[in-house]
Amino acid sequence: MGETAKFSIEGKTIELPIMKGTDGPDVIDIRKLYAESDAFTYDPGFTSTASCESKITFIDGDKGVLLHRGYPIGELAESSNFIEVCYLLLHGELPSAAEYSDFEHTITHHTMLHEQFDRFFQGFRRDAHPMAIMVGAVGALSAFYHDSTDINDPQQRWISAHRLIAKMPTIAARAFKYFQGQPFVHPRNDLSYAENFLRMCFAVPAEDWKPNPVLTRAMDRIFTLHADHEQNASTSTVRLAGSSGANPFACIAAGIACLWGPAHGGANEEALNMLKEIGTVDKIPEFIQGVKDRRYRLMGFGHRVYKNYDPRATVMQKTCHEVLAEVGDSDDPLLKVAMELERIALNDPYFIERKLYPNVDFYSGITLRALGFPPEMFTVLFAVARTVGWIAQWKEMIEDPVYKIGRPRQLYTGAPKRDYVPVDKRG
Ligand code: CMC
């Protein structure tokens, strides 16, 4: 055995192997712990638990580092594009020119939905939150694409991965159009991934959507920034759902449900609502006091893993300025509130002591609003982007020889065994 960790429990010394990754903390392999000690570990929220081995994404939260397959997110956001990042996450390497063009062609030619699928949307109330539609509609893909639900067939796993990445923007745009009360716009194969999505969202029969390179680039960058983030709550949900052998469409629907929460993907919607609620710079001190009194949290701040500036937030802030300048909104009062809020928070001991920095969601809400999206769409856009991360992590799990159904244990603190009491004998 290599390096080990030793500890004793009830007089017995237990020796456990230590696993080493390429980077990041060592991991104590506790798989034999229960058999050898009759004890479980306790870690609600998984703050000290590695749930799997992965080669996809690495985060060093203290240094503010995020790497996809070894490449820093800042470099990818600056020099690559979303489709190339999808290829990288799925395949492990950057594509050659021919591989890129094949992959882009495959994704572009899977964007259409089965004609009958459109009827599915009509079942939702007009005012349904687009995320509610996403949870239902993406799960329903399993009913339309049976020929890619055999998880034991590697070819079907690839087809389902391509279908999900390709069809997600079409479903998201339909959720948006339905919510707006406008007719659906079909995908077009001559447009890029981001252009196609923006057109499906903003074209109307009376007027086609006009491409704007700055806004398209911003949309693509927002997708790139959200593509993967190792074992976050929704990705762990996808892995856990997939560990039972459930089909990939159902697993991604589970991931979308988890992403919806305000502590995760719902934070950008909440962050924008918060900025609107503050409204003007002079209200910030009062708002900060409310955070310190624990009446509410500063949305778009803090992260389970980053105890430093979220590297995605740096790119997001730059993109936000570019988009606002392009749409002629550099004087947006919410941007002023955001910048001043950030300045005050980063100099306040409450936030410094707790290592609370802006995360990716702090500036994404203002940017998405300037692109023309209402807050209800923000988490939907996150889901479109994160689909590639979810599916890459799902594939990695299925292809990992040590993969088994995820089944955590518990510390039971409920009533001890007792006998049933008939209703007339209960006091
Ligand atoms: N505002 C004010 N205080 C905060 C915040 C915040 N946003 N986040 C954490 N804290 C405080 C918290 O009260 C606690 O203080 P104390 O030690 O005095 O009790 C301390 O910081 C640690 O907080 P925690 O809840 O134990 O930390 P966590 O790792 O469980 O939470 C988080 C991470 C992201 C859920 C949390 O920071 C949060 O709620 N942030 C706001 C929501 C948000 O912006 N989420 C988006 C995350 S990035 C996108 C994504 O990955 O989905």
* 5-26 pLDDT per residue, tens: 999 999 999 999 999 999 999 9
Nearest Cα to 16, choosing from 31, 24, 80? 31
- Residues linked to residue 71 through DSSP beta bridges, in sequence order: 68
- Please provide residue 318's backbone torsions phi and psi, each rounded to the nearest 5 degrees: -65, -45
Q: Which atom of ligand 1 is nearest to the CA of 259?
A: 52
Q: Mutate which of 43, 73, 304 to test ligand 1's pocket (most atoms within 8 Å of Cβ)?
A: 304
**This prediction's pTM:** 0.93
Sign of the dihedral through C-alpha 134, 135, 136, 141: positive
- Per-residue pLDDT band at 398 (split at 50, 70, 90): very high
Q: Which amino acid is at 96?
A: S
- Per-residue pLDDT band at 331 (split at 50, 70, 90): confident
- Per-residue pLDDT band at 361 (split at 50, 70, 90): confident
* pLDDT > 90 fraction of the chain, expressed in percent and rounded: 88
Q: Which residues lie below 8 Å from residue 141, measured CB to CB, with a gap of 6+?
A: 117, 163, 164, 167, 249
1 has pLDDT over 80: no
With vertex at residue 406, the alpha carbon angle to CA 405 and CA 412, rounded to the nearest 5 degrees, is 130
* CA–CA separation, 248 and 235 (whole Å): 12
* pLDDT > 70 fraction of the chain, expressed in percent and rounded: 100
- Asked whether 271 and 265 are in contact (CB, 8 A), the reply is no
CA-proximal residue: ligand 1, atom 44 (nearest): 300
Catalytic residue IDs: 303, 361
pLDDT of residue 367: 93
- The Å distance, Cα 351 to ligand 1 centre, comes to 10
- Asked whether 255 and 238 are in contact (CB, 8 A), the reply is yes
* CA–CA separation, 239 and 251 (whole Å): 8
Nearest Cα to 68, choosing from 101, 96, 90? 90
Report the b/e string of 293-315 with b at 16+ CB within 10 A: eeeebbbbbbbebbbebbbbbbb
Report the b/e string of 1-13 with b at 16+ CB within 10 A: eeeeeeeeeeeee
- The Å distance, Cα 302 to ligand 1 centre, comes to 5
- Over residues 40-53, mean pLDDT: 96
**Strand order, beta sheet including 71-72:** 57-60, 65-68, 71-72
Q: Which atom of ligand 1 is nearest to the CA of 297?
A: 1
**Cα→Cα distances 151→231, 235, 262, 395, Å:** 21, 18, 31, 9
Burial class (CB in 10 A: 0-12, 13-18, 19+), 414: exposed
pLDDT of residue 274: 93
- The Å distance, Cα 353 to ligand 1 centre, comes to 13
